[in-house]
Structure 1
Amino acid sequence: MNQIKRSPIHSLGYDFIPQQFLPNGADEYYLRNVQNRSGIAYRQLNAMEIEILVRNRNQSDDWNKLLVSDEFNPELVKNCKFFGLVRIGKLEACYLEYHNLRMPVGIYNSTIISCDLGDNIVIDNVHYLSHYILGNEVILVNVNEMSTTNHAKFGNGIVKDGEDPGIRIWMELCNENGGRKVIPFSGMLPGDAWIWSKFRTDTDLQEKLVAITQNSFDTRRGYYGKVGDRSIIKNCLIIKDVWIGSDAYIKGANKLKNLTIHSSPEASSQVGEGCELVNGIISEGCRIFYGVKAVRFAMASHSQLKYGARLINSYLGNNSTISCCEVLNSLIFPSHEQHHNNSFLCASLLNGQSNMAAGATVGSNHNSRGADGELIAGRGFWPGLCVSVKHNSRFATFNIVAKGDYPAELDIPLPFSLISHQVHLNRIQVMPAYWFLYNLYALARNAWKYKERDKRIEKIQPLEFDYLAPDSVQEMVDALPLLELAVGKSFIHADLDPSGYPFQHAGELGRKLLESKDPRVDSLLITVEGWENSKRPVEIIKVSAAWQVFRRMIEFYAVQCVVQYGEIEKFGDWESVKGLLPSPARQWNWKNVGGQLIPAEALNELISKLKSDQIQTWTEAHALYENANQNYNHWKCTHSLQCLLEMRNVKASDLCQAFWDELLNEAVNTRQWLSDQVYLSRKKDYANPFRNMVYDSAEERDLILGSLETNSFLLQERQDCEAFINKVKLR
């Protein structure tokens, strides 16, 4: 039976805060008065104003509780009901216009309970407006219900005074079991979510993160909902316990409940038709429209949900877009794209710059003994058309997965690889260095695109967008011995003649074969074990070319880092460069912390500070990211040079100026080769007869697609290439 509580009409709009939660000597408006920073001086109505209001068919339980500013115009309030303490700012005889919506300033046909209303607001046909503070020039039109409870948390996973901790809102990230759940909060960064979800065995850290979250917000009851200046809300059904920033635009939403919607003049947020959003944090500059459903979620700044997307128990990183499809229990770092209704993503950690194609399915087949496990993918993960990937799986950086149903779990450690399921051969094939060999245009353009589209206003976490970075380069260094061992073992297994290559182990043999570019390697069936959870081997193809490209990229990266490092003016002087190398050599283990690359040693230091008594709020915690970034460029240089030494298997003392000069000259050649590969990989699309057959002429094609020679990215790429080459030549 529904429990309907009956109370006297004169109590409507009062006793918002239960008596037991009021401090001694405070009234129920004490927090409201703190929140209202409009600066408006209120007064009581005079007799003439009351007469006009009554004549305009307005009602109030107590006209003495309706306070107004000196510039209040009672003629602009018609057919309204007021309950409790209502305070109204300036009302002028004018209209407000936004996107062709023109509405006269004033309050019409509405029921208003205990609210503060700013200057020159528009409220028309709002059936129930309760316990809200509206800024100046706010427009509310055709809203069924807009209310705030005394225990509103506005999407933050905190517990208010007197509440059972069991009601706390959590986001169950990375798997479906809830074992990596985190508490959502306003201002949550991707790095926060990752640290919280990752270090589960550190009980001290876990307890401290809960405490920091609780300390970052006031647990007192009685805060009102707010709508910032110049925000527009129209044609909505239910808005409950929602805090809305300035300059937001909300139209046609079905249900918004327990949310913070950050918005500002520089980064306006929008919510559109048919959306139902519950228990979430929406950061500034977000766009959510056309039937989106989101529950227990957080969206970092300038991300988008649209066209019926479903986001549940998930964190969506900055500058990301999800359309149409469904995403569950996932932690997604910045610059993610997913645009198709038949794409599905579940129980995953995507390290950013990822793209889910149509028909791509990650997890949740529900035919195993338990809930889905986890998928972890490095930066640049691209599962292609109609890909089905099984949990648990792990992928290195910039892996692209070709169309196919992958029947077993995968663990692919080689970066920049094309992974394909060769059904007719009954094996998985991995082509390392695919992007450099065949599609460098897409790789380079995406790195440029992500940087150009980073719209964050407060860049608290510095994000790495370059495809050559500490994480990917370290994986290339680690890939070299893997490729050498695979070649050596396969060569021995094929019972080929190794004479001329004295060796002590298979890896040494493989290295010598690859160094000498032995043609037999190209015709060799090279397989590895342990990369797929099955009895069949995994084949690696194009090994010789990949090995050469990886070494070339490692050498180029070392020179690039030094050339770009502003503190080394004489980058052509080996003695100056050698000073970057620590003695003894440092052990590097780079971690992707929400898109920011941090060495494990520095991350451990950050976590130690996080657990200290010095950090009490998330604002203080976020300063640690900037501190961790102060040495990033120096670390990159040091790491790149150590990668060079490890790849060459030499010591710093063995190197000399002549060697460094050789590397600088080779870097010029490599930079030109990269630029040429970018152009040639794009040119293939223009030379492909199957792509051209839909156009009657090259002129028509260029009109539709844009000409190759006027491609803005290719032009920029050439300029960057020339600038690098000129800088090195002028050393």
Structure 2
Amino acid sequence: MKTYRKLLTKEIDALKQQGCQSSNWDIIEVHPLFNAKNVHRVTFMGNIKLGLLEGTFQLPGGVTQQSMIKDATLHNCEIGDGVYIDRVHNYIANYKIEDGTYIQNVNCIYVEGNSSFGNGTCVAVMNEQGGREVIIYDYLNAHFAYILTFYRHRPLLISKLQDMVKKYSAYVSSTMGYIGKGVKIINTGSIKNVKVGDYTTIEGTQLLENGSINSNVHAPVHIGYGVVANNFIISSGVRMKDGVMLNRCFVGQACELGHTYTATDSLFFSNCQGENGEAASIFAGPFTVTHHKSTLLISGMFSFMNAGSGSNQSNHMYKLGAIHQGIIERGGKTTSNSYILWPARIGAFSLIMGRHTNNSDTSNLPFSYLIENNDQSILVPGVNLRSVGTIRDAKKFPKRDKRTDPHPLDFLNFNLLSPYTIQKMLKGIDVLENLKMTCGESKTYGYQGCVINGRSLHRGIELYHMAIRKFLGNSLISRLTKCSCESDEIIRECLKPDSSIGLGDWRDLAGLIAPQSEIVKLLNDVENDRITNSKQIYDQFEYLHENYYAIEWTWAWEKIKSYYGVNLNSITAQDVILIVEEWKKAVTGLDKMIYEDAKKEFSLSSRISFGLDGNRYVQKVDFEKVRGLFEDNDFVKTVLKHIEDKTRLGDELIHRLKVE
């Protein structure tokens, strides 16, 4: 608790001589060691507390600046120690400014009335006309927002969740603003009703109004030139610059927005990137990336997604308002100039190419291509499982997680194969087999607004089976890693699930992959007041995330039983060997397809535009100097090593089982 004293008469005289003025010198309080020499041309109004203006700032270019306050008007302010304030063209009013903050050349910074600093703002996500509004607040995460957005069929639940947020918003409301420690605010326009967290940098920003910047020493926030933001929450580690314009938006941890990106009524969760384009009423789950000037994302949910240039969705085929919305499940990609007419739902890890106007639903056929041909939506099931791009994506997401905050808001599962995607493949096999049974052998099959070629249908079934065997084998081998496997009884004991949690369908709650049964239990607890605040909800999300692999095994074992026709009470080492052999074939088979797909990047056609002024030899050498040799490519080496490592892992387990 800091102590203050009143100004001495000689200090008041010194301040007056230095161009300072006050409506009432008696209500100004200062640090016990206050030195008036560092305050010049300042107008004091209302209640003022001044800290010790000692210490220096090291500025870019080697400039050193002494702590001081000059050329400013302060109204109802508490100024910490070691602060620098200079050239406030209007005033700073109703703010507590913490130690070590640097403010120079700003228009005005003030709080008017009682403010919740962006908390409690309603964001009309997914539907421009409303109906799925999410009330944003400082600790919103993707999974909490997912439930608020998509569980409208449970009005009591939504009401209780909204009440939690409203209570928090009321709790943080104040007539006093806050600027934290080590903040830099330079060459900036107006800041109104904004809470500024520790170590934020605001430089060249045009306008910030009604928001919170939740920066901290571990994950500072940078708000740059030309940014305009109204009614917002900005989480730790965010970088925004170059004319970004936001209105009614939540920006999650480590997001990057720049190059005149514009967003309204949108939620961006951790590690999203937005440049040049536009977003309207979107739920941008973690790692939603859009870099291109002509790209529009509108009224949709996305996650782990890359939007190509000119990508667009339309919700304008309506007569009673913009009600249409769409879902591109995790891992989706759109090529240049792709278009989707909402409503539509695209399965996980799918590639979208061309224009699609048939309201497709491919949610049970993940890892597919959706391609336009002669105004038809051609669906190629499962083909993305053999794509080198899909595997690269799976590996790059963890490496691109830029969050440095020790308290992550989103709990992210990066697994390509999980109960969520495998259950989709199992359903996909049923879909494709039923099409065969219903229509017989055919050149084409119609499905959910799409056309599937007969050859693609058969290939899709094969690819899904390979991926299922790979996942189930991975789970089985992981479970037996520390098992002695000395007898069938010991094997059965090792394979016994740790709990019954995990059976049934699984859900992807915008990054968190968890059993539907546990989500329903959580929501029931909220409705019945067994859970009464958002912290308890987050604790449950964290529990499900941290115990994912134990819970996953419960699900995987149940699927092994049905898929391979084995039983925990009677499974033998020989049964395990057969499953591992199937796993080896699946793993190496998929890896070889990926290897062949990677080869295309080094084909003759890929060399076009290389060796500009030479013959074929020059073209070849130029290509190799830029791209390298196929055999030396890091990804290719990784694939070959993966084949070798997995083959050895399977052989070692088989050897142990046979020996014992």
Aligned pair in 2 of structure 1 residues 96, 226: CA closer, same or farther (>3 Å)?
Answer: farther
Aligned partner of 2:658 in structure 1 is: none
Q: Secondary structure at the match of 2:437?
A: helix
Distance 1:139 1:333 in 2: 35
Matched with 1:643 is 559
Question: In the alignment, what sits opposite 2:394?
Answer: 447
In structure 1, the residue matched to 2:150 is 198
Deviates more, 1:693-702 or 1:287-296: 693-702
Report the TM-score when normalising by structure 2. 0.90
Cross-structure match for 2:511: 595
Q: What's the counterpart of residue 517 of structure 1?
A: none
Q: How does 1:212-611 map to 2 (within 5 A)?
A: 212-219=164-171, 222-350=174-302, 352-365=303-316, 368-402=319-353, 404-412=354-362, 413-423=364-374, 426-437=375-386, 439=387, 441-456=388-403, 457=405, 458-459=407-408, 461-491=410-440, 524-532=442-450, 539=453, 541-565=455-479, 569-570=483-484, 574-576=491-493, 578-580=495-497, 588-611=504-527
Q: Distance in 2 between matches of 1:473 and 1:433?
A: 12
Gaps of at least 5 residues in structure 2 are 612-617, 654-660
Q: Which residue identity does 1:449 align to in structure 2?
A: K
TM-score (normalised: structure 1): 0.82
Cα deviations across residues 522-579 of structure 1 (Å, max 9, x unaligned)?
A: xx413024335xxxx5546522222112111111101112333489635796524652
Q: What secondary structure, in the 3-state scheme, does the structure 2 residue paired with 1:616 have? A: coil
SS, match of residue 84 in structure 1: strand
Following superposition, the deviation at residue 410 of structure 1 comes to 0.8
Provide, for residues 450-501 of structure 1, a one-character-per-residue CA deviation record: whole Å limited to 9, x for no partner. Answer: 1122233324543221211111111111111211222334435xxxxxxxxx
- Does residue 48 (structure 1) correspond to residue 13 (structure 2)? The answer is no
1:668: which partner in 2? Answer: 584
2: CA distance between counterparts of 1:729 and 1:119? 66
- 2:351 touches 2:369 (CA, 8 Å); kept in 1? yes
Distance of 1:687 and 1:679 partners within structure 2? 13
Q: Would the aligned equivalents of 2:253 and 2:409 in 1 still touch at CA under 8 Å?
A: no
Matching of residues 169-188 of structure 1 within 5 Å: 169-188=121-140
Task: Note the alpha carbon deviations across 1:234-280, whole angstroms, 9 max, x for none.
Answer: 11111011111111111111110111111112111111111111111
Cα distance in 1 for residues equivalent to 2:621 and 2:178: 56
Amino acid at match of 1:431: V
1: CA distance, partners of 2:101 / 2:139: 24
Q: Mark the CA change 1:411 to 1:324 in structure 2 (over 3 Å): closer, same or farther.
A: same
**Cα displacement string for residues 136-174 of structure 1 (whole angstroms, at most 9, x for unaligned residues):** 2111111101001231111100xxxxxxxxxxx311112
Match of 2:652 in 1: 730
What per-residue deviation string (whole Å, max 9, x for no partner) do you get for residues 490-521 of structure 1? 435xxxxxxxxxxxxxxxxxxxxxxxxxxxxx
Q: Name the CA distance, whole Å, in 2 between partners of 1:706 and 1:267.
A: 37
For residues 547 and 122 of structure 1, the distance between their equivalents in structure 2, rounded to whole angstroms, comes to: 67
Whether 2:169 is the aligned partner of 1:208: answer no
Residue number in structure 1 paired with 2:657? none
Q: Secondary structure at the match of 1:442?
A: helix
Q: 1:694 is matched with which residue?
A: 610
For residues 93 and 386 of structure 1, do their structure 2 counterparts lie closer, same or farther at Cα, with a shift above 3 Å needed? closer
Aligned residues of 2:76 and 2:95 also touching (Cα < 8 A): yes
Residue of structure 2 equivalent to 1:161? none
Spell out, residue by residue over 1:671-728, the C-alpha distance to the aligned partner (whole angstroms, 9 max, x if none). 3344444443223212243445324455544554455455444455555555444443
2:28 to 66, 72, 84: 66
Give the match's secondary structure for 2:440.
helix
Q: How many residues align structurally?
A: 640
CA change 1:706–1:118 in 2 (3 A) is: farther
Counterpart position of 1:142: 105
**Percent of pairs with identical residues:** 22
Change (3 A) 1:669 1:538: closer
Match of 2:465, SS state, is helix
Is the CA contact (8 Å cut-off) linking 1:554 and 1:640 kept in structure 2? no
Quick check: 673-682 or 182-191, which moved more? 673-682
Deviation (angstroms), 1:586: 8.0
Query: Contact between 2:435 and 2:445, CA under 8 Å: does it hold in 1?
Result: yes
Q: Is the 8 A contact 2:379 2:452 kept in 1?
A: yes
Q: 1:702 & 1:40 partners in 2: Cα distance?
A: 66
1:586–1:107 Cα change, 3 Å: closer
Question: Distance between the aligned counterparts of 1:284 and 1:346, measured in 2?
Answer: 25
The RMSD of aligned alpha carbons is: 2.6
Structure 1 residues 216 and 581, CA gap change in structure 2 (3 angstroms): closer
Whole-angstrom distance in 1 between the partners of 2:553 and 2:370: 31
Between the aligned partners of 2:291 and 2:465, the Cα distance in structure 1 is 36
After superposition, give the CA deviation of every residue in 1:572-630 in whole Å (9 maximum; x if it has no partner): 965246523999x9852111112111111111111122234343332232112123335
2-structure distance, mates of 1:643, 1:611? 32
Residue 91 of structure 1 is matched in structure 2 by 53
